[in-house]
Amino acid sequence: MRRIRSSKICPIISAKLSSQSLEELPVIIQSNSNDSNHLNSLIQNMSVKIKNELPLIGGISCNLSTEAIYRLAEDPNIEYISFDSKVFALMDIGTATIGGNFPHDKNYLGEGVTVAVIDTGVSPHNDLMKPNERIVGFKDFVNDKTSPYDDNGHGTHVAGIIASNGYSSRGKYAGVAPKANILAIKALDENGSGNTSNIVKAISWAIETKSQYNTKVINLSLGSPANNPCSKDPLCKAVTKAVNSGIVVVVAAGNSGPLASSILSPGINPDVITVGAVDDNRTIEHSDDTIASFSSRGPTIDGITKPDLVSPGVNIMSLSNKKADDYVSLSGTSMATPFVSGSVALMLEKDQNLSPREVKRKLLDSCIDMKESKESQGVGMINLEKLFKDAASGEKEKGELNQDTSQFFNSPIVETFLVLLFVMLLLENN
């Protein structure tokens, strides 16, 4: 068997090569120089058809034979060859559980902030369409359709947790940010799966159009087994580009718990906000809250502590894709993730100048410690009452300080002192 530089290929491809498989493999190839033109010429010389160009990570996706992989691995301009893995969607009271009513009472509802939901699509449910349409854009990387739809239901449910206004339930099933906008990006098929390369393309499109739609947040309630270190992983590289462009990226931890080191990609990326799931036992009180058994645990493949935080993810009622006024209950870190994305929308309505890293820091500083291990809960459960109460307290103190300062300078004693000081200066100059 031929030797190959294993540092250039992912473990899945290594295993295929070791088994001397003759099948063509779906791969993502990344260049050292991020030069997609060079990659194109290399692939075309091999008479291989390119499936997707991925300029965001300086790569392309295609199917390659074993021989072609051997040849490419010898090229010094090739950085990494990874398997174009399948990415899967990760299958009322939750908003109250995280203290969502507190910012709502202060009229923070996510208005004007757009959250991109990269998922199975989003159906035009009443709660997103009435009285005003808030699905502000739609892109289909699966079937190339132009009108919003969801042939699976997962993305619609996620979008509802973020931005449902409860139109069809008289407010009962309103989301965290009931006036936020949704940018629906379909990158997973009717079965809730899709290739890594499609997710990279979807993230790239969200970045390219962020000014057009005012996209501030990307919700990724999906994941793929973390077979590569973050520095080589195509999804990790894509979400880093999104964060560097000013977009907050919120990612599901995965549903592979309680197994240790089971965080999925791109949740292994330290730049994103990785969300695990809590079982709130259908109560607003926190005393009976526990980490959901299915919620993936850290550390990551690189030894980083994840998840970052947790939120409700068991028996969450949200929008159904079957009827425009129907609801359905689902569980998973997929459901926990949009609670955080909606919370970020509220934060960015309040202060649009917050950077992704500032948003993450403020969120982590406002969590409730559940007294679980860091590998299970991160820093704890998100709590918007604590987050917005602390912010409001800071503003009040600042206002009181300004008022006290004004009263000091306007007091009669200070005015007399300033007059005497002015007279003394005049006498000294004379």
How confident is the model at residue 400, as a pLDDT? Answer: 41
Tokens standing for residue 273 = 């906000």
Tokens standing for residue 252 = 């599901």
Please indicate, yes or no, if residue 393 is contained in any of the structural domains. Answer: no
- Catalytic-labelled residue, pool 61, 82, 125, 154: 154
How confident is the model at residue 3, as a pLDDT? Answer: 53
Q: What is the DSSP letter of 17?
A: H
How confident is the model at residue 289, as a pLDDT? Answer: 84
Same domain (yes/no): 103, 41: no
Tokens standing for residue 408 = 């000091």
Measured CA to CA, the distance from residue 86 to residue 32 in angstroms comes to 24
- Catalytic, 288? Answer no
How confident is the model at residue 49, as a pLDDT? Answer: 79
For residue 38, the enclosing domain spans: 6-84
Measured CA to CA, the distance from residue 217 to residue 70 in angstroms comes to 40
Same domain (yes/no): 22, 104: no
> For 237-276, what is each residue's pLDDT tens digit?
999 999 999 999 999 999 998 999 999 999 999 999 999 9
CA distances 195 to 115, 192, 250, 319, 337, Å, are: 22, 11, 19, 26, 21
How confident is the model at residue 74, as a pLDDT? Answer: 86
Same domain (yes/no): 25, 126: no
Q: For the chain, how many structural domains are there in total?
A: 3
Tokens standing for residue 119 = 């998922």
How confident is the model at residue 404, as a pLDDT? Answer: 46
Tokens standing for residue 212 = 């057009």
Same domain (yes/no): 189, 93: yes
Q: Which residues of the chain have pLDDT under 50?
A: 1, 92-93, 394-409
Same domain (yes/no): 425, 298: no
pTM of the model: 0.86
Please indicate, yes or no, if residue 388 is contained in any of the structural domains. Answer: no
How confident is the model at residue 15, as a pLDDT? Answer: 84
Same domain (yes/no): 192, 264: yes
- Catalytic, 119? Answer yes
How confident is the model at residue 90, as a pLDDT? Answer: 66
- Catalytic-labelled residue, pool 36, 204, 295, 334: 334
CA distances 261 to 100, 200, 256, Å, are: 31, 24, 9
DSSP-derived pairing of the beta strands 135-140 and 181-186: parallel
Same domain (yes/no): 309, 338: yes
Same domain (yes/no): 172, 272: yes
> For 124-183, what is each residue's pLDDT tens digit?
999 999 999 999 999 999 999 999 999 999 999 999 999 999 999 998 999 999 999 999
- Catalytic-labelled residue, pool 92, 119, 189, 271: 119
Same domain (yes/no): 40, 131: no
